[in-house]
Homo-oligomer: A and B are copies of this chain.
């Protein structure tokens, strides 16, 4: 018996896109779905009511951060993450693998997991498959992620990492990198079986496996086979959006997603901009999370259907219009002008980041609503007409990290 029910309600006639619904004991959410990120059990500055106003149906939190503070035992004692943060809808947590491998001050990595220094109190912390699942069992979200070996992205060609998200990005030669990916692959499969064994709350929490493989297509294929051979309620594509650029992400996803089981939810971790999401939906992906709307919102960048607004720019100094005409978010409906928002950012007033975060999450949820409509009605051309930004060229997407 699974704690999760996935129904595919419509599929596209020309692409692999599908629209459906995922039900959990904390309610259901429509797919394709976008999950805003509440790293430490809070989507920065937003009340659950404000999150709901964005039409978000499921949110993501980070087991890594909540493990370090306030600790999963405490969250469990207080009734679990839903009650703790006042969000009664579905929640997904990632396992902490990505953060432990890419951001922590690592002491050692071996077949038992990773040992690192806590960013909170400097203590030594061990995270392996069993503890990662125990942490998520204690936190109590509806969907939990397997603990995988997720080696930090490296810079094969010696170019700078523009995303700024990778703590260390050593230049390595391709052969060494391939070897490290192979180790990661083997460990990930072994750890997945251990995660499944360690999972104690199958009746109300659904464990998703993660498909790694970096940019190596044949390794991705092997990972799909090995990971999906272990029967789980859903599967994710991990290890993208770690600095490899949107074109390569697109190719990886287009290659990998169709190989995954049709009847199970497919989750692309940490992606992305609007057009990255569209491409992945067309490859058959059902779930997304990204810090873009909130992190950029806090930095005064507002997403619109046809443009990006850098609200600190002087051109908005006396602009009486809202971020986007016709937008139904609390910020635009509240009548807050670009000039007022610019003033809030200039004055370092918290209300600026809050209002633009609300608008930006609402923007992504509008896109997902329109995507689901396009799948149901087979109307992709109208989606592209309504969303001129889908044609725009962007900087590379950012990955999920602490800076949410």
The residue that A45 contacts in the complex, of B48, B69, B336, B351, with Cβ under 8 A, is B351
For the complex, is A317 an interface residue (Cβ under 8 Å from B)?
yes
Q: In the bound complex, do residue B84 and residue A351 qualify as a contact, i.e. CB atoms below 8 Å apart?
A: no
* Residue of A46, A85, A330, A346 with highest tally of chain B CB at under 10 A: A85
Q: In the bound complex, do residue B78 and residue A42 qualify as a contact, i.e. CB atoms below 8 Å apart?
A: no
Interface segment, A122-130, A157-165, A337-345, A383-391? A337-345
For the complex, is A265 an interface residue (Cβ under 8 Å from B)?
no
Residues on B with C-beta less than 8 A from A41 are: 340, 343, 347
Give Cα A381 to B317, complex, Å: 53
Interface positions of A from 75 to 126, Cβ below 8 Å from B: 77-79, 83-86
Q: In the bound complex, do residue A47 and residue B351 qualify as a contact, i.e. CB atoms below 8 Å apart?
A: yes
User: How near does chain B come to A159, taking the closest CB pair, in angstroms?
Assistant: 33
User: How near does chain B come to A277, taking the closest CB pair, in angstroms?
Assistant: 27
* Residue of A50, A337, A340 with highest tally of chain B CB at under 10 A: A340
For the complex, is A27 an interface residue (Cβ under 8 Å from B)?
no
Residues on B with C-beta less than 8 A from A334 are: 47-49, 86
Q: In the bound complex, do residue A77 and residue B318 qualify as a contact, i.e. CB atoms below 8 Å apart?
A: yes
Could you list 5 further interchain pairs (A-B, Cβ under 8 angstroms) beyond the known A41-B343, A69-B343, A350-B350? Answer: A40-B349, A41-B340, A45-B350, A48-B334, A65-B347
Q: In the bound complex, do residue A69 and residue B346 qualify as a contact, i.e. CB atoms below 8 Å apart?
A: yes
Give Cα A334 to B82, complex, Å: 12
For the complex, is A193 an interface residue (Cβ under 8 Å from B)?
no
Give Cα A320 to B86, complex, Å: 12
Interface positions of A from 33 to 64, Cβ below 8 Å from B: 40-42, 44-50
Q: In the bound complex, do residue A83 and residue B45 qualify as a contact, i.e. CB atoms below 8 Å apart?
A: no
User: Can you list 18 A-B contacts (CB < 8 A)?
Assistant: A40-B343, A42-B344, A42-B349, A44-B349, A45-B45, A47-B355, A49-B334, A69-B346, A69-B347, A70-B317, A74-B339, A84-B337, A84-B339, A85-B340, A86-B334, A86-B335, A86-B340, A350-B353
User: How near does chain B come to A343, taking the closest CB pair, in angstroms?
Assistant: 5
For the complex, is A354 an interface residue (Cβ under 8 Å from B)?
yes
Q: In the bound complex, do residue B354 and residue A78 qualify as a contact, i.e. CB atoms below 8 Å apart?
A: no
Q: In the bound complex, do residue B351 and residue A42 qualify as a contact, i.e. CB atoms below 8 Å apart?
A: yes
The residue that A74 contacts in the complex, of B47, B48, B317, with Cβ under 8 A, is B317
Give Cα A351 to B357, complex, Å: 13
User: How near does chain B come to A53, taking the closest CB pair, in angstroms?
Assistant: 10
User: How near does chain B come to A204, taking the closest CB pair, in angstroms?
Assistant: 20
Give Cα A157 to B88, complex, Å: 58
User: How near does chain B come to A149, taking the closest CB pair, in angstroms?
Assistant: 28
Q: In the bound complex, do residue A343 and residue B70 qualify as a contact, i.e. CB atoms below 8 Å apart?
A: yes
Interface positions of A from 265 to 321, Cβ below 8 Å from B: 317-318, 320
Q: In the bound complex, do residue B335 and residue A83 qualify as a contact, i.e. CB atoms below 8 Å apart?
A: yes
Interface positions of A from 145 to 175, Cβ below 8 Å from B: none
User: How near does chain B come to A200, taking the closest CB pair, in angstroms?
Assistant: 22
Q: In the bound complex, do residue A78 and residue B349 qualify as a contact, i.e. CB atoms below 8 Å apart?
A: no
User: How near does chain B come to A272, taking the closest CB pair, in angstroms?
Assistant: 25
Q: In the bound complex, do residue B346 and residue A47 qualify as a contact, i.e. CB atoms below 8 Å apart?
A: no
Q: In the bound complex, do residue A78 and residue B350 qualify as a contact, i.e. CB atoms below 8 Å apart?
A: no
Residues on B with C-beta less than 8 A from A318 are: 74, 77-78
User: How near does chain B come to A331, taking the closest CB pair, in angstroms?
Assistant: 9
**Minimal Cβ-Cβ distance residue in B for A351:** B42
**Minimal Cβ-Cβ distance residue in B for A334:** B86
